[in-house]
Amino acid sequence: MSISRDDVLDWIQVTAGILKENRDYLIKLDAAIGDADHGANMDRGFKAVMGKLPELADKDIGTIFKTTGMTLLSTVGGAGGPLYGTLYLQMGMKSAGKMDLTLEDWIVALQAAVEGVVMRGKAELGDKTMVDALSPAVEALKEASSNGRSLSEALEYSAKAAEEGMTATIPWVAKKGRASYLGERSAGHQDPGATSSYLILQAAADTWKDC
Ligand code: ADP
Ligand code: MG
C-alpha cells in the first residue's frame, strides 16, 4: 500500500483545515510562553499553501512538498517559518520525482525532514520544541516498519508518539526559542510548536488511514 500524489494533496488540505480550527488554541499556548503568534503564523502559512494547490494538481510529490516548504518559508515568519519551511523542503528533496510513497519512502522523507529541522534550529530532545513531537514520530515509524506493521498502523503509531512527545513538553523548561527567555517559568505549559507538529502528523494518520 502507498501514499499517492492525491493523498499528499489531501493531507495538505486537511492540515490547513486543522490548523485553522486550532488557530486560537495554538495562540493561547504561545501566549503563555511566547508571543501569541504561533496559531496565526501557521494558519496564514497553510492558507497561502492552499492558494498554490491548483498549480500543484499534476505535479510530483517532491514538487508539492517543495512548494509547500517555500511558501511556508515566505509566509509563516517567526521561528516556526524557517523550521516548518525546512521540514517540507527536506521532505520534498527525498520525494523528488515520486508519484507515490511507500512506508519506507515516508520514513526516509520524514527522517530527513526532522534532521533538517534539528540542523537548522539546533534543538535537542527535551529542549521543549517541535523536535520533541517530530523525533519520536520518526522513531515510532521505524519501529512499526521493522515490526512488519502496515502503513496505516505505522502512521497511527507515529501520531501517537508525537502526541506523547507533545504532552511530555508540559513540565519541561524551554531551552530554545522565545520560551527559553522565560527560564523556569516556561515549565507547566505545553509547547506550541510541538502541538502544531502533532496536529500535522495526526492529520497524516487520519488522511492516509486507508492508504
Ligand atoms: P516565534 O517563537 O518566533 O514567535 P512561533 O511562535 O511561530 O515563532 O513558533 C514557536 C515554536 O517554534 C516553539 O513552540 C518551538 O516549538 C519552535 N522552536 C523555536 N525555536 C526552535 C528551535 N531552535 N528548534 C526547534 N524548534 C524551535
Ligand atoms: Mg510565537
136 is in which domain, residue-wise?
3-206
Looking at all shown ligands, the one closest to residue 41's CA atom is 1
pLDDT at 1: 80
Residue 211 lies in a domain: no
Question: How many angstroms separate the Cα of 137 from the Cα of each of 111, 184, 206?
Answer: 9, 27, 15
Question: How many angstroms separate the Cα of 187 from the Cα of each of 1, 128, 176, 204?
Answer: 42, 9, 13, 29
Q: How remote is the CA of residue 142 from the centroid of ligand 2, in Å?
A: 31
> Rounded to an integer, what distance in angstroms lies between the CA atom of residue 184 and that of residue 89?
34
Q: How remote is the CA of residue 110 from the centroid of ligand 2, in Å?
A: 24
What mean pLDDT comes out for the span 141-165? Answer: 98
Residue 16 lies in a domain: yes
User: 80-128, pLDDT tens digit by residue?
Assistant: 999 999 999 999 999 999 999 999 999 999 999 999 999 999 999 999 9
Question: How many angstroms separate the Cα of 19 from the Cα of each of 12, 68, 85, 96, 205?
Answer: 10, 15, 16, 26, 15
Residue 91 lies in a domain: yes
Residue 172 lies in a domain: yes
Residue 75 lies in a domain: yes
> Rounded to an integer, what distance in angstroms lies between the CA atom of residue 44 and that of residue 32?
21
Task: With a cut of 90, say whether residue 146 has pLDDT above it.
Answer: yes
Which residues have C-beta under 5 Å from ligand 2, the single-atom ion? 30, 34-35, 37-38
- The CATH code of the domain that includes 178 is 1.25.40.340
Strand partners, 3: 101
Atom 26, ligand 1: which residue's CA is nearest?
Answer: 129
Residue 27 lies in a domain: yes
Residue 21 lies in a domain: yes
Residue 167 lies in a domain: yes
Identify the band that residue 209 occupies on the pLDDT scale cut at 50, 70 and 90.
Answer: very high
What mean pLDDT comes out for the span 133-146? Answer: 98
Residue 52: which H helix or E strand, with range? helix 38-56
> Rounded to an integer, what distance in angstroms lies between the CA atom of residue 128 and that of residue 193?
9
> Rounded to an integer, what distance in angstroms lies between the CA atom of residue 32 and that of residue 186?
8
E strand spans, 52-144: 100-101
Q: Is there a contact between 121 and 131 (Cβ–Cβ < 8 Å)? A: yes
For residue 189, give the nearest of 175, 197, 179 by alpha carbon.
Answer: 179
Number of independent structural domains in the chain? 1
Q: How far is CA 116 from the centre of its chain?
A: 12
Residue 4: which H helix or E strand, with range? strand 3-4
User: 56-77, pLDDT tens digit by residue?
Assistant: 999 999 999 999 999 999 999 9
What mean pLDDT comes out for the span 142-149? Answer: 98
Q: How far is CA 97 from the centre of its chain?
A: 22
